[in-house]
């Protein structure tokens, strides 16, 4: 049981929801087709209505993620992520591997 829910209300983290699905898929491999069929069981409210209206146009997991981020994602997420990457510097005693993975 994955114990995931997303309603699409303001304040919910759309990225974390996608990440939790991907982490769950690592433990229990599920095809793109199957996850798209199962997704309504994880959704409620606005998110469920949105998915039902888009289902026929979402051909795979990547298409869903892109549409999901457009609809529910933080519009400043990509900008903030890019800024964080640009500001990040390697610490004096930090290994290259640690720097690249953080």
pLDDT at 87: 82
pLDDT at 18: 94
pLDDT at 78: 62
CA distances to 67, 85, 91, 98 from 95, rounded to whole Å, are 37, 17, 8, 5
Number of H helices, E strands in the chain: 6, 0
Q: Which long-range contacts (CB under 8 A, 24 or more apart) does 49-58 make?
A: 50/8
pLDDT at 47: 96
Model confidence pTM above 0.95: no
Q: Which residues contact 59 (CB under 8 A, 6 or more apart)?
A: none
pLDDT at 77: 59
Q: Structural domain boundaries of the chain?
A: 14-92
pLDDT at 89: 85
Report the chain (102 residues): mean pLDDT per 10 consecutive residues. 86 91 89 92 96 93 93 72 77 83 73
């Amino acid at each position: 049981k994955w114990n995931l829910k997303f309603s699409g209300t303001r304040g919910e983290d759309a990225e974390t929801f996608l990440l939790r699905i991907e982490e769950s898929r690592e433990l229990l491999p599920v095809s793109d087709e199957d996850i798209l069929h199962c997704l309504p069981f994880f959704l409620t409210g606005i998110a469920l209505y949105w998915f039902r209206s888009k289902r026929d146009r979402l051909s795979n997991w990547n298409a869903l993620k892109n549409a999901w981020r457009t609809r529910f994602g933080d519009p400043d997420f990509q900008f903030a992520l890019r800024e964080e990457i640009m500001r990040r510097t390697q610490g004096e005693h930090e290994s290259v591997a640690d720097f690249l993975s953080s």
